[in-house]
Amino acid sequence: MDLNPLPRLKPINDMKKLFYLTLLIFLFIGTQQVSAQKTHGTLYTPTANAEEDITKMLAQAKEEGKHLILQVGGNWCGWCYKFQDFVQQDTTIKTIVDDNFLVYHLNYSKENKNETLLKQYEFPQRLGFPVFVILDTEGKRIHTQDSWMLESGDGYDEKKVAHFFKSWTAMAINPATYEKKK
């Protein structure tokens, strides 16, 4: 008499079921990634001439009195899309960014790691993705920020992100802002 209430399955059937379950999981994950890209478009362009793009954006930043933020990541990076959505949907953050910064999505992927540029900016990829590099109007790196310090739970924290952006505006780091008035 068998005391096990569960029916015994043949090993071959177990393997088939495991295979099909695994296949379904991979198909679901792949579908989610494709649908996220269709919904959001792509943030990063692996084929872009990043050096040329950044040079043009620095000229625009100088003209507008803004800093340039390089958001380093790739289309494979879920947190990069979360950050983009967060900035676009939070009106306070969006206003701070739009008023004070230009943003360039610097690609890091197997197709193009932009290693020369990242070396120039002192290897920000060491901090994970996305990582933010703030450049002044001359192209000098003035700050690198890893994004995990801006996170809360499975998203981003409005107060932390606002503080980060406000701390690195052109006005915030301008010495004249802190000179005592006589």
Q: Per residue in 88-113, pLDDT tens? A: 999 999 999 999 999 999 999 999 99
pTM: 0.78
**Single-letter residue type at 87:** V
The pLDDT value recorded for residue 26 is 65
Q: Is a pLDDT exceeding 70 seen at residue 37?
A: no
In angstroms, the CA 145 to CA 77 distance is: 17
Question: Rg of the Cα trace of the chain?
Answer: 23
CB 106 within 8 A of CB 124: no
User: Rounded CA gap, 72 and 145, in Å?
Assistant: 10
Confidence of residue 64 (pLDDT cuts 50, 70, 90): very high
What pLDDT score was predicted for residue 151?
Answer: 97
What is residue 38's predicted lDDT score, i.e. its pLDDT?
44
Phi, psi of 143 (to 5 degrees): -165, 145
| Higher per-residue confidence, 78 vs 32 | 78
pLDDT-based confidence at 16, cuts 50/70/90?
confident
